Amino acid sequence: MLPSISPTQVILIFLLMAWLSACVIFDLRSRQVPALLTIPPLVLSAFWRLFQGGWSVVILVVALILISDFPWPKWRIPLACLATVLTLSIPDTSENIYALLVIFAAWGLWEIGATGGADAKLIISLVLLFGNGLLFIPIVLAGGIQGLFGLIARKKTIPYTVAITLGTAAWLWLVAVR
């Protein structure tokens, strides 16, 4: 089935995919994504989410960034849990509730060292941009398949930006054909 999308949406999707592809190229080359490709999109998508009225999601992101510098490491995750519960207690749409949970999960995985900071920032930026945490499901599915191939090939680490890009493309396709 072919999705029906406007020319403006085509341009936006093209820009989004160009940005994610640039991140994949850097990741494949050096397992690093420059801050220029992660911080400006994070800031822009946070402003976009604020403009859309999802301020509780933006508050959680700012709180988690501040908590990551908390001087006592063992208190960071409990503090992040508290911040997430407090933002979840604000009455909100189901999409924003999923978004809060995914943002906490992405940050938590980074905090325990399971994922890189660039990957976490990309996921958080995408969740802020689309305002829907369900985007995380195709991303982790793509990551799981990629991880399985990595295990078969006896590779310890995988470039997760590939899973983020493929998962986002799959999610956009699903949203467009729905």
Residue 71 dihedral angles phi and psi, to the nearest 5°: -65, -25
Supply 29's token pair: 């080359």
Q: Nearest 5°: CA angle at 48, between 123 and 137?
A: 30
Q: Which x/- pattern, by CB under 8 A, does the window 61-100 give for other proteins? A: ---xx--xx-------------------------------
- Of 83, 100, 159, 168, the one binding other proteins by CB under 8 A: 159
3-state secondary structure of 114: coil
If the CB atoms of residues 11 and 28 are measured against other proteins, the closer one turns out to be 28
**From residue 117 to residue 156, what is the string marking binding to other proteins with x (rule CB under 8 A)?**
xxxxx--------------xx--xx-xxxxxx-xx---xx
Amino acid in position 1: M
Residue 69 to residue 123: CA distance in whole angstroms: 20
Q: Which amino acid does the sequence have at 66?
A: L
Task: Report the distance separating Cα 159 and Cα 147, nearest Å.
Answer: 9
In terms of CB distance, is 5 or 42 closer to other proteins?
Answer: 42
From candidates 5, 13, 31, 52, binder to other proteins by CB under 8 A = 31
With beta carbons less than 8 A apart as the criterion, state whether 151 and 72 touch. Answer: no
Under the binding rule (CB under 8 A), the answer on residue 158 touching other proteins is yes
Q: How many residues bind other proteins (CB under 8 A)?
A: 46
As a whole number of angstroms, the distance between CA 3 and CA 168 comes to 15
CA distance 98 to 137: 11
- C-alpha to C-alpha distances, 145 to 113, 159, 165, nearest whole angstrom: 21, 12, 14
171 binds other proteins (CB under 8 A): no
Choices 14-22, 26-34, 50-58, 84-92; region in contact with other proteins by CB under 8 A: 26-34
Least Å from the CB of residue 20 to other proteins = 12
Q: Which residues bind other proteins (CB under 8 A)?
A: 23, 26-27, 31-35, 38-39, 42, 64-65, 68-69, 107, 109-110, 114-121, 136-137, 140-141, 143-148, 150-151, 155-161, 163
